[in-house]
Structure 1
Amino acid sequence: MFNQITDPHYICGMQANITIYLNERPLLLCSDQEPIPAHLAAAKVYTNPDTEKMESVLRKLEDGKKETAIFTAPDVKQLFKKVSLHFTTLVAAGGLVTNPAGEVLMMFRRGKWDLPKGKQDPGENLETCALREVAEETGLHTVALEHKITETFHYYPMKNKKVLKHTHWYRMQFTGTELTVPQIEEDIQDLQWVKPENVAKYLKFSYENIREVFRAANM
């Protein structure tokens, strides 16, 4: 079941600037009063884009005809609502799990290193969803949720739908003794506890939104 992001519960908790990744290409949504980030200085800026312009830019990002773009408007939340109308939105939650040694749990799935996450079930709060998904995908049940890290947004095609996945990420601590068990039916091939000094090597073979989670967690 898909949860629409226009629900005020999700809009209110959203960060001021929003980056949506379409096939690893960033679309930044920000206030027209904010300076453009240095790393996106070359991106074309679209101020108050209408529906037709949004559709055109989204399609070019998806198809690789444009590497990045910026939408600006006075109200970023309203801007995001308009952009989200071009997608079916799925709300998810996941975790950045560390153990007492400070190692981070990463999973290898579909050729990339990833973090455990999954869609929110009807009636389930985000914290419960995050813990459930970690348990299902990794086999770890002795996990304590500490605090929220950030939210990420990325697009992917699913059947005939264009899905925008809005994921809420939480910092978690594993304190048990159970061994990891990859959820094979979710295409998880491997689970590894990664030392902090080696995380960057794994992130080279990951996704932009996952790198964003690590940046937000100061790791």
Structure 2
Amino acid sequence: MGKWQGAAGICFNEDNQLLMVLQGTKEEVKTWSVPSGGKKATENYETCCIREVYEETGYVVDIVKEVLHKNNDVVEVRYFETIMKGGQMMIHDPDELIYEIAWKSKDELLNLTLTFPEDRPFLLSFFQ
């Protein structure tokens, strides 16, 4: 079985809040993450990021630049800084893993239970 590949989008609103989703399977404890998901075979990482942000949040984004590349024996995930260009808050997730969408402040991010706790310092570095 091959390595899992995916993309994640980092998006801020005009109030310097980070777009995040509460996620997990029905059986799991729900945790917070930036919108992210698996790459389809026909997609590049940028297209995957744009699609995942839309599916999980309803927002349409453009890619600004790649800001992190996690790559190990199990996963390869590319994180992209994005800018919102439209849409409205709504879950379109076909996997039914998203339970809530929220804009989180820097102070809120400090105390959230994150899906990937190792991302906290990296995500905090984006706040102005």
TM-score range, shorter chain: 0.7 to 0.9
Question: 1:210, CA displacement in angstroms?
Answer: 2.9
Give unpaired runs (5+ residues) of structure 2. Answer: 25-29
Question: How far apart, in 2, do the equivalents of 1:210 and 1:181 lie?
Answer: 23
Bigger radius of gyration:
1
Query: Is residue 2:23 matched to residue 1:93?
Result: no
Query: Is residue 2:85 matched to residue 1:178?
Result: no
Question: How far apart, in 2, do the equivalents of 1:92 and 1:168 lie?
Answer: 7
Any runs of at least 4 consecutive aligned residues in structure 1 with deviations exceeding 4 A, and if so which? none
Query: Is residue 2:43 matched to residue 1:148?
Result: no
Partner of 1:166: 76
Relative CO higher for 1 or 2, CA cutoff 8 Å, sep ≥ 6? 2
Query: Is residue 2:41 matched to residue 1:122?
Result: yes
- Give the letter for the 2:66 counterpart: K
Give unpaired runs (5+ residues) of structure 1. Answer: 3-87, 156-163
Mark the CA change 1:171 to 1:90 in structure 2 (over 3 Å): closer, same or farther: same
- Over aligned residues, Cα RMSD in angstroms? 2.4
Instruction: Count residues in correspondence.
Output: 121
Matched residues, percent identical?
21
| Kept after mapping to 2: 8 A contact 1:91/1:165 | yes
TM norm structure 1: 0.49
Question: How far apart, in 1, do the equivalents of 2:89 and 2:120 lie?
Answer: 26
User: Which structure has greater helix proportion?
Assistant: 1
Question: How far apart, in 2, do the equivalents of 1:118 and 1:165 lie?
Answer: 12
| Kept after mapping to 2: 8 A contact 1:108/1:191 | yes
TM norm structure 2: 0.78
